[in-house]
Amino acid sequence: MYDYTDFDEAFVRSRVAQFTDQVERRLDGSLTEDEFRPLRLMNGLYLQLHAYMLRVAIPYGTINPRQMRQLAYIADTWDKGYGHFTTRQNIQFNWPKLPDVPAILQALADVGMHAIQTSGNCVRNVTADHFAGAAADEIEDPRPYAELLRQWSTDHPEFQFLPRKFKIAITGSPHDRAVTAAHDIGLRMTRNMGGDAGFEVFVGGGLGRTPMIGHLVRDFLPIEDLLPYVESVLSVYNTLGRRDNKYKARIKITVHETGRDEIARMIEARFAEVRPLFGGADQALLADIRAAFAQPDLQSRSVADYDSAYSSNPVFRAWADTNLSAHRKGDHAIVTISVKAHGQTPGDATSDQMRVIADLSQTYGYSELRISHEQNVILPHVHKADLPAVHAALAKVGLATANVGLLSDMIACPGMDYCALATARSIPVAQEIALHFEALKLEHDIGALKIKISGCINACGHHHVGHIGILGLDRAGVENYQITLGGDATQTAAIGEKTGPGFAYDEIVPAIERILRAYLGLRLHAEETFLDAYRRLGMEPFKLALYGSDGASDAA
Amino acid sequence: MSRRFIPKVVTANRLREGDVVYLTADDQWTLHHHQAELIEDEAHAQLRLLHAAGQKLVVVGAYLADAKAGPNGPEPVHFREAFRTRGPSNYAHGKQVDLTHV
């Protein structure tokens, strides 16, 4: 993976020194909160419901064992012994104290990490396919491009005060695991007729209060045009984006109001101006970055140990069936470590768990790790013969839950248990759904299912693109949960449709059960997934299951 | 006739720790909601909020939250404020455990 150059190191250290001074001046009264707030947000520090929260970037979800151990150390030293992996491939610490934050940032800098641009109206952490560099279906590893974008966008003077935040996602595979359609810019690698790799460019996707699927503005962008083109998109948005209304300031609204064709034309016009200014330094840099992402030297040996464990150990087999994905090298596998044990908080890992993950990565995983936007941790390269040992080690620390891609592998934002913006809780809803269906032993029967829960309209929990989406709202001072069905986060992206009136906190789990029992009764066969069944049947049978024959129309 | 004023407490987060605190009638900051001053007059509420907002080295983000009288002192009205008196529901962290040691 990419290691900091002297330049990166100096930049991050100077930022830590700067912020250390700013914290001191806030604590001695030289800075008011109004003056300090934008400065702390630039360094990822929020004030939440019960405490400060520090959001640390994990660029494109890639992290090494040393960094993971340092996160564990930070959790133990300055927090409450755990961290929360987010849908933006970041990690959040929920309990730092303001005077300790400079020391935390120093500890992060010691391992080449930071919290810069994890907040504010700038280009945020660039996210990528969490199977990057390992997936069997990959055209190219997207991370060198993500790293190029990270370096270009960090402290970019033109884009520090955009109309609103800006999120870029990139995938190197035709199977979109990076939700590119729901980002301000989504980049999907593709090949042209001549076999050259390049990008399909989508602009104007986003979730939040006005969910939209991105529009294709370029069907083939050559690799060498990536930076000038992305800069052109940002430039058009920076000029055109609305600054009069925070809720209409994202590029999705700009695209919606301007029209896809006109935006595409403006981007191309700007690109014609910008392109000649790029003299090739970016391509030289890209070549260096590519070298840093050289593939590990994958070993070849017998998979007999895997085969024998698979046939003799049913617990291992269940885990292998759900938590492994196809690696580009046949005798290896991609391991998804489920950070979703039934009843636990989705995405929360204890410091002990982090250390075990780091050790496993080092011993069996070529020292590579990824964090997924689905709040799990990935060991991207594990030889199959080592999988029984990996599974056994994970089981000792509660990380061997065999549920990846199933009902309890839910995304849940922190919700009103932590977040100052939330309108309802998310985490206990996720916990109760997981425990309820675990007790019913229905999860494996239901099969592939994405439930995604957000505790407010800002949609950090991606509820719009969940097969079943749950949105927590405050209705007249009471928590109320709205359900959407049919969302899809992949290359066939779709925004879910509202079922009708919402449900009270104690009604939401039974409501989800009614939907899923209806699905089990209606599916053509066990291989027809919930999403497929919904697409075949439409909303009506599920509405009927939820509200009864006349409930929906009465309550609407 | 103007709408009846809903009683308020002044609440904020401590600058250094981030803890949720409430303003008492004798100008202290307390971790306990029931020890807060229950303000039943709108003009007085604004004065108390100004007083709180002036304490820039002690608290951040002071605001008025709806409250009601209870047997042991003011109680929160909205569920958000009720959560702020306790801490998160997924772990025994925050005031729900910290206050038992006070």
pLDDT in tens, A513-544: 999 999 999 999 999 999 999 999 999 999 99
Nearest to B16 among A98, A348, A479 (CB): A98
> Rounded CA gap, A241 and A248, in Å?
8
Q: Please answer whether residues B65 and B81 qualify as being in contact, where contact means their C-beta atoms are separated by less than 8 angstroms.
A: yes
Nearest to B94 among A50, A416, A477 (CB): A50
More confident residue, A336 or B100: A336
B58/chain A closest Cα distance in angstroms: 9
Q: In this predicted structure, what is the pLDDT of residue B85?
A: 97
Helix (H) or strand (E) holding B21, with range, is strand B20-23
Instruction: Please return the burial class of A505, using the count of CB atoms within 10 Å of its CB with bins 0-12, 13-18 and 19+.
Output: middle
Closest chain A residue by Cα to residue B14: A51
Residue A68 has pLDDT above 50, yes or no: yes
CB-side exposure of A348: number of CA atoms within 13 Å? 20
> Which pTM does this prediction carry?
0.96
Domains along chain A with CATH numbers: 6-58+79-109 (no CATH), 142-292 (3.30.413.10), 304-396 (3.90.480.20), 411-555 (3.30.413.10)
Look at the block and give the residue holding tokens 């840093």: A292
pLDDT in tens, A159-187: 999 999 999 999 999 999 999 999 999 99
Contacts by A1-9, CB closer than 8 A, 24 or more apart:
A1/A62, A1/A64, A1/A143, A1/A292, A1/A293, A1/A368, A2/A62, A2/A143, A2/A147, A2/A289, A2/A292, A2/A293, A3/A112, A3/A292, A4/A112, A8/A112, A8/A151, A9/A109, A9/A112
The amino acid present at A195, given as its one-letter code, is G
A65/chain B closest Cα distance in angstroms: 27
Could you give the percent of chain A with pLDDT greater than 70?
99
Closest chain B residue by Cα to residue A430: B90
Closest chain B residue by Cα to residue A97: B17
3-state secondary structure of A191: strand
Q: In this predicted structure, what is the pLDDT of residue A448?
A: 98
The region, left, alpha or beta by phi > 0 then psi within -120 to 50, assigned to residue A61 is left
Confidence category of residue A556, pLDDT binned at 50, 70, 90? very low
A292/chain B closest Cα distance in angstroms: 40
Give B91's contacts in chain A (Cβ within 8 Å).
80, 345
The token pair that represents A263 in the structure block:
């935006």
Nearest to A431 among B13, B87, B90 (CB): B90
Q: Where are the alpha helices (DSSP H) in A164-292?
A: 226-240, 251-258, 260-274, 281-292
The DSSP 8-state label assigned to residue A494 in this structure reads B
Look at the block and give the residue holding tokens 């919606």: A256
Nearest to A425 among B18, B19, B89 (CB): B89
Contact B19 A50 (CB under 8 A): yes
Closest chain A residue by Cα to residue B80: A416
B102/chain A closest Cα distance in angstroms: 17
**How many C-beta neighbours within 10 Å does residue A393 have?**
17
Q: Tell which of B90, B91, B99 to mutate to test the A interface (max A CBs under 10 Å).
A: B90
B66/chain A closest Cα distance in angstroms: 11
A with B: how many residue pairs have Cβ under 8 Å apart? Answer: 74
Contact B17 A418 (CB under 8 A): no
B94/chain A closest Cα distance in angstroms: 7
Residue A553 has pLDDT above 50, yes or no: no
Contact B91 A27 (CB under 8 A): no
Residue A493: which of A57, A169, A268, A230 has the closest Cα? A169
Q: What is the mean pLDDT of chain A?
A: 96
Q: Please answer whether residues A174 and A134 qualify as being in contact, where contact means their C-beta atoms are separated by less than 8 angstroms.
A: no
Q: Cα dihedral angle (A468, A473, A475, A480), rounded to 10 degrees?
A: 40
Contact A479 B79 (CB under 8 A): yes
Q: In this predicted structure, what is the pLDDT of residue A549?
A: 81
A474/chain B closest Cα distance in angstroms: 9
Q: In this predicted structure, what is the pLDDT of residue B101?
A: 56
Contact A52 B60 (CB under 8 A): no
3-state secondary structure of A294: coil
Q: In this predicted structure, what is the pLDDT of residue A3?
A: 86
Kindly give the pairing relationship between strand A332-337 and strand A82-85: unpaired
Instruction: Please return the burial class of A268, using the count of CB atoms within 10 Å of its CB with bins 0-12, 13-18 and 19+.
Output: middle
Give B83's contacts in chain A (Cβ within 8 Å).
49, 416-417, 425
A278 contacts: CB under 8 Å, gap ≥ 6: A227, A228
Instruction: Give the ipTM.
Output: 0.95
Give A427's contacts in chain B (Cβ within 8 Å).
88-90
Q: What phi, psi does A498 have (nearest 5°)?
A: -65, 140
Closest chain A residue by Cα to residue B83: A417
Contact A345 B90 (CB under 8 A): yes
pLDDT in tens, A81-135: 999 999 999 999 999 999 999 999 999 999 999 999 999 999 999 999 999 999 9
B57/chain A closest Cα distance in angstroms: 6
A401/chain B closest Cα distance in angstroms: 19
Contact A427 B88 (CB under 8 A): yes
Contact A50 B84 (CB under 8 A): yes
Could you give the percent of chain A with pLDDT greater than 90?
98
pLDDT in tens, A375-431: 999 999 999 999 999 999 999 999 999 999 999 999 999 999 999 999 999 999 999
Q: In this predicted structure, what is the pLDDT of residue B98?
A: 83
Q: In this predicted structure, what is the pLDDT of residue B99?
A: 80
What DSSP line would sit under A214-232, residue for residue?
Answer: PEEEEEEEEGGGHHHHHHH
The A-side interface with B (CB below 8 A) comprises: 26-27, 29, 32-33, 47-52, 80, 94-95, 97-99, 345, 348, 416-418, 425, 427-428, 431, 474, 477-479
Kindly give the pairing relationship between strand A197-203 and strand A215-222: antiparallel
Q: Tell which of A48, A50, A473 to mutate to test the B interface (max B CBs under 10 Å).
A: A50
3-state secondary structure of A406: coil
A359 contacts: CB under 8 Å, gap ≥ 6: A65, A393
Residue A555 has pLDDT above 70, yes or no: no
Confidence category of residue B1, pLDDT binned at 50, 70, 90? low
Of chain A, the end-to-end C-alpha distance in Å amounts to 53
Closest chain A residue by Cα to residue B66: A477
Give A29's contacts in chain B (Cβ within 8 Å).
56-57
Q: Please answer whether residues A61 and A373 qualify as being in contact, where contact means their C-beta atoms are separated by less than 8 angstroms.
A: yes
Residue B100 has pLDDT above 90, yes or no: no
Q: Please answer whether residues B84 and B11 qualify as being in contact, where contact means their C-beta atoms are separated by less than 8 angstroms.
A: yes
pLDDT in tens, A207-262: 999 999 999 999 999 999 999 999 999 999 999 999 999 999 999 999 999 999 99
The B-side interface with A (CB below 8 A) comprises: 13, 15-20, 56-57, 60-61, 77-80, 83-84, 87-91, 93-95
Contact A97 B57 (CB under 8 A): no
Residue A554 has pLDDT above 70, yes or no: no
Contact B19 A26 (CB under 8 A): no
Question: Looking at residues A45-55, what average pLDDT do you find?
Answer: 97
